[in-house]
Amino acid sequence: MFSTRRIRIFDTTLRDGEQAPGIDLTVEQKVRIARQLQRLGVDVIEAGFPASSEGEFIATKKILEEVGDSVEVTGLARANKNDIDKGIEAGLSSIHVFIATSDIHLKYKLKLTREQVLDRIYESVRYAKSHGLVVEYSPEDATRTDEDFLIQAVKTAVEAGADRVNIPDTVGTMYPFKFYDLIKKVVNATSGRIVSVHCHNDFGLATANSLAGVQAGARQVHVTVNGIGERAGNASLEEVVMALKKLMDYEVGVKTWLLYDTSRLVSELSGVPVPYFKAIVGENAFGHEAGIHVHGVIENPLTYEPMSPEEVGNFRRLALGKHSGIHGLRKILEEDGIHLDDEKLKAVLQEVKRMADTGKKITAEDAKRIASKYLNT
C-alpha cells in the first residue's frame, strides 16, 4: 500500500508523446526508452496504442516482455471490444480505455448521444474487467464536459469496475484554481478509486494544473519526458516530479538523478531537442554568468539554485561574459591552474567584458588566453 503522500507517475511518452507530428519511434527505440523509464522508477508505462498499427502492437508486446515484471505496462484502447482485444492479444494485464464526454466531441466526432456514451463506458470497462484487466478510464475532453455529465460518466466507469479514473485536460484549457475545484468533485464521486490527471500544455499550464490536481486529491499524474506530446505537449515528467518532491513534499518513486540522462535519450531518439531554458533538464537550468549570482553560487549554490544539479543528473555551468565578476573569473581560471592577484584579475576581467561587449561569446579558453598575458608580468 502506498502512503497518502505517495504520488504515482504514469508515463505516456511512448503513447501521447509519440503521437506528436514528427515523432515515429521504431520498436527497438520504444523498447530502449521503456527500459530507461523502468530504471527511472515510473509506476506505469503506457507503451502505446496496440490497435493502431502492427509496430505498436509488437512494441507493446516487446515492452511487456522486457520490463513487464517490474513495472505496470498499459496500452490505450478506444471504448470498443476490438481495441481492448488487441491489448489482451499483446499480453497486457492493464488497459487504458477512453471515450470523450464533451458535447463538442459527441456531436461532431463520435456522433453519439450522452446515453450512448454512458453505455459505451459501462460496456467497455465491464468487458475489460471481465478479462481480468486493471482498467483506467479517461473521459476524453473532461475539462470541457458538462460537469454533471462528467460526474455521471466517471460514476458509470466506477460502477462497471474501473480501478482508476483519469481526468484529461485534453486541449489544455484549465488553469490551476479551476482544475483544483473540478478534481475535488471527481475525487468525491469516485468511491476511493485512484484519481489521475492528464494535462496538456496549450497555455503553458500543464505542470501547474497537474500540481493543482494533486493538491485536490489526485494520486496519479500522467506525464511525458521533456513534455513531448500533442500540440504544445503534455505535463513534463521532470517538472512534475521535482515540483511534487521539492515544493509540495510528496513522495515519488522516481530516481531523480536519472532525469537528465532520460531526457537526453528521449531527445536523441525522438529527434526533438531539449529547449536551452527547459526547467530541470535544460542546458541552462543550472547555468550562471551574472557576477553576483556566480559569487553567491561559489559560496553556497543554494543562493541561486532551488535544487542541486546532481539531484537531477544535470550539471552546473559557470560562464563568462559582460555580466561576469571577479569571483567567477578567479574560480574559472583557478580550475585551470591559473592563479592571478586581484589587480591582474581585474585587468583580465576588463578585457573579457570589452570582448563580450562586441557580441563575442566568451569561452574559458578565451579567458585563459587573456590571463596568460598577465601570468609572468
Ligand X SMILES: CC(C)C(=O)C(=O)O
Q: Which of residues 140-179 bind ligand X (CB under 6 A)?
A: 140, 166, 168, 170
Cβ proximity to ligand X, 24 vs 268, nearer residue = 24
Task: Determine whether 376 is exposed, middle or buried from the number of CB atoms within 10 Å of its CB (0-12, 13-18, 19+).
Answer: exposed
Cβ within 8 Å of residue 341, ≥6 positions away: none
- 56: contact with ligand X by CB under 6 A: no
The answer to whether residue 10 forms part of the interface with ligand X (CB under 6 A) is no
Cα dist from 121 to 40, 79, 162, 186, whole Å:
33, 7, 10, 16
Cα–Cα distances in angstroms (integers) from residue 288 to residues 50, 137, 321, 371, in the given order:
45, 45, 10, 21
120 scored as a contact of ligand X (CB under 6 A): no
Residue 239 makes contact with ligand ACO by CB under 6 A: no
Pick what 198 binds: ligand X, ligand ACO, none; C-beta below 5 to 8 Å, kind-dependent.
ligand X
Member of 14, 44, 88, 110 binding ligand ACO (CB under 6 A) = 110
Q: How far is the CB of 111 from ligand ACO (least distance, A)?
A: 7
Strands 287-288, 317-318: pairing kind = parallel
Task: Tell me which of ligand ACO, ligand X, none is bound by residue 201, counting a contact when its beta carbon lies within the kind-specific cut-off of 5 to 8 angstroms.
Answer: none
Pick the closer one to ligand ACO by CB: 11 or 16: 16
User: Which one, 155 or 198, has the nearer CB to ligand X?
Assistant: 198
Q: Determine, following the binding rule CB under 6 A, whether residue 98 of this chain makes contact with ligand X.
A: yes
- Supply the minimum distance, in Å, between the C-beta of residue 298 and ligand X: 44
Least distance in angstroms from the C-beta of 26 to ligand ACO: 16
Q: What is the DSSP string of 340-377?
A: --HHHHHHHHHHHHHHHHTTPPB-HHHHHHHHHHHTT-
Nearer Cβ to ligand ACO (80/93): 80
Give the footprint of ligand ACO on residues 86-105 (CB under 6 A).
Answer: 98-99
- 257-290 burial string, b = 16+ CB within 10 Å, else e? ebbbbbbbbbbebbebebeeebbbbbeebbbbbb
Task: Out of 25, 40, 42, 79, name the contact with ligand ACO by CB under 6 A.
Answer: 79
Contact residues toward ligand ACO (CB under 6 A) are: 16, 19, 49, 51-52, 78-80, 98-99, 109-110, 140, 170
Contact residues toward ligand X (CB under 6 A) are: 16, 98, 138, 140, 166, 168, 170, 198, 200
